[in-house]
Structure 1
């Protein structure tokens, strides 16, 4: 089986390769093609991957290329994890937004819209290339904003593109561990398995805007018992982030990115006060890593550098949000990294080898949320096998969640049209209607700022 990884010079690529090395099934990936437009980054990550491959008796063949068509031609699966504009783009978007007094996170608010406006044309080019040179291939999209990019690519590839994210399964895992710690779940060895039958999360929403509404263990929903105990709620990351009173009020556990919506003032204040906001931190950290790997004397040294930087990256994840909610440290168990890599592997096995799996994915709505269009991409548990992906039956959204989802999906639709058709008016509608952009004048100023700093957005002037 051939897997093509777009964004092959990305920092988290070795996590994907580690997952491939751990796979000993008969239908495992035998060739990994790493594609990137930046040859130096591709070479640096290739050195880390080479070190991992050298420690394994039978690793997949690794091919590196800067040619998109060569990377995709004849492949079975495409894992898209690109970042148009690079980490410098994230830092620039963040700086622009904070300069106008709004949240600048790369997938939430104006920062996410800017990122999508740059990324949609490239994602559509990828989709058209897949359709031309590998029409049998499936695309697994991790490119952010994942919901928007997946929905845009569906216009070309239909059901053969699936969006993934590691946040929902991580949330379900942490809630299960809280239930075990509190004696609600007696089996200490039970885990949230990818496709397991004993633990079934009830999760619904959009990417980075969803809620865990239930956690069924051996047929019994244990989430209400967890939520009823403040000590358990504030014993896991999302519970500490939001606080027990809010979680108990909602009767559900929000995805961590909803912190930007429920605690907007606090999140903005923490970002504005930070000596080094997240985008700038990653720009400095990642730049230092790639420079250091270029000077490394061996692949062993390169791998050790990667490990050190990865742990620092995980430790500081959403640091300003945690600071705004009490300045707590991450649990070491939450810093293992990855998650999306195992989801991607499970998707490939489910389709290629007809090994059914139940996974939380970004797929077409198809009536699940009646208030949305069938083609709108949502995030929910699905059954996936050789026949494709089918959303699992679930109850609709509570009113408090539905309002946020309807507004966010309107913003996503406007962003897709703006990115696809290069429409300034649709970009302005997306910015104006986003709840984290609180002024028509600010919406105009933000778009003008995006156009000024990104030449590829000049046609939106």
Structure 2
């Protein structure tokens, strides 16, 4: 199979490559085409992957391209993982948000909307190009905000675009870890919501829901990251395990205060850290080792201000294990290409599976994957207390898409003003104007 990675010069590319190197099954990916606008990073990334593949027999061949049209022909799968305006754009969103007293995180609230507004025109062009040059390819979207981007791309690609996020499976693995259970074929997860806005509501092991055992034990809850972040009392009050990004909603004042007291924003830290990494990786003999060191440093500082606001301190090593989005992506590809049935939590069109949202709304729920694609499993349920938030945020997502696809400034303003983390129309208007003046990408909003 041929895999094309859009944004292949991005930092997480070696995670995907690691899954490909572990895959020794017949029909595996044998060709990887990296596409990126930054030729220098592409060359360095190719060296990192070559170093990573050292000693692995029959590793996939890797090619690099700065023109997507050169890479797409013959693609079986296309990964989209782009960052329009780069990490500096994320830093700008965080600065603008803080200047107006709102959270500027890149996928939640103002930051997510701003990121989407400058990203959607680019991914829509990508969707049209894929449909023209690789009409039989499946697009697996990692580009944030994943739910919004996947829904917009689905207007061109239909069911052939599927979004992936590792937050739900990471949450589930940590909860299972407290039970001494590993995620496997005997485990079924019930999870429902939108990307970065969902809840784990059941963990069935051999048909028995074990989540009540976790929820009944405060010590067990606070033994893993989400439990420490939200606190056992609140999680027990909810009766479900929230996605870590819901911390921005449940503790917005605390997070904002921690952000304001922090010596630098998350993005500003990443800009400096990544600059150091690329300089070292571009010159050293073993760039993959440099990548591993940088990744460990990056993971250790993940959601640092949220942890500070909760008084959590340093991350535990166990919590730093990723959700394994690269393994989910591999299972998804194999499920489609070889009809290897799998149950995965994905971002897909609802098609009646989740009550309260229409068929075309992209939701994050368990799906069955087979040769025909990803099929949402009917019966997913958002807890009653979350229904209003999910409905409001889906409205925001669709107004954001309306703004980006039609150059509709009023829709962008509606998106910002109706987001639960923006508390004033005046503030929404100021945020929009600051974003428009900061990003040439938003000049289309008239």
TM-score, structure 1 normalization: 0.95
Aligned pairs for 1:3-82 (under 5 A) are: 3-82=3-82
Q: Residue 52 of structure 1: CA displacement?
A: 1.4
Q: Does 1:256 align with 2:244?
A: yes
Which residue is equivalent to 1:418? Answer: 403
The aligned counterpart of 1:291 is: 279
> Which residue does 1:364 correspond to in 2?
349
SS of 1:54 mapped into structure 2: coil
Q: C-alpha distance in 1, partners of 2:278/2:239?
A: 44
What is the alpha-carbon distance in structure 1 between the residues aligned to residue 227 and residue 103 of structure 2? 22
Whether 1:273 aligns to 2:261 is yes
**Alpha carbons 2:78, 2:139 under 8 Å: kept:** yes
- What displacement does 1:328 show? 2.8
Q: CA deviation at 1:388?
A: 1.6
Contact 1:15 1:338 in 2 (8 A): no
| Structure 1 position 395, deviation (Å) | 4.3
Which residue of 193, 203, 225 maps to 2:213? 225
Deviates further, 385-394 or 258-267: 385-394
Matches of 2:96 and 2:44, distance apart in 1: 30
Residue number among 200, 203, 208 corresponding to 1:215 in the alignment: 203
Cα deviation 1:121-148 (Å, max 9, x = unaligned): 1110110011000000000001000000
2: distance between equivalents of 1:337 and 1:303? 18
* Residue-pair matches, total: 446
* Residues in 2 aligned to 1:241 and 1:98: alpha-carbon distance in whole angstroms: 22
Is 1:174–2:174 an aligned residue pair?
A: yes
The within-5 A match list for 1:133-172 is 133-172=133-172
After superposition, give the CA deviation of every residue in 1:171-190 in whole Å (9 maximum; x if it has no partner).
0101111122xxxxxxxxx4
The equivalent of 2:328 in structure 1 is 343
Q: Is the 8 A contact 2:168 2:323 kept in 1?
A: no
CA distance in 1: counterparts of 2:139 and 2:444, whole angstroms: 29
Deviations for 1:313-367, whole angstroms, at most 9, x for unmatched residues?
Answer: 0011111101111133222123244611111100110011111100000001111
Contact 2:199/2:240 (8 A) holds in 1: yes
Q: Deviations over 1:275-319 (max 9, x none)?
A: 0110110111111111222232x2x1x122111110000011111
Provide the residue aligned with 1:191 in structure 2.
182
Whether the 8 Å contact between 2:123 and 2:153 is mirrored in structure 1 is yes
Q: Does the 8 A contact of 1:162 with 1:363 survive in 2?
A: yes
Select the residue among 409, 430, 440 that pairs with 1:445: 430
Task: Quote the Cα distance in structure 2 between the aligned partners of 1:165 and 1:370.
Answer: 22
**Is the 8 Å Cα contact of residues 202 and 394 (structure 1) preserved in structure 2?**
no
Match of 1:355 among 316, 320, 340: 340
Question: Deviation per CA, 1:380-415, whole angstroms, max 9, x where unpaired?
Answer: 110001122111132432221111100000000000
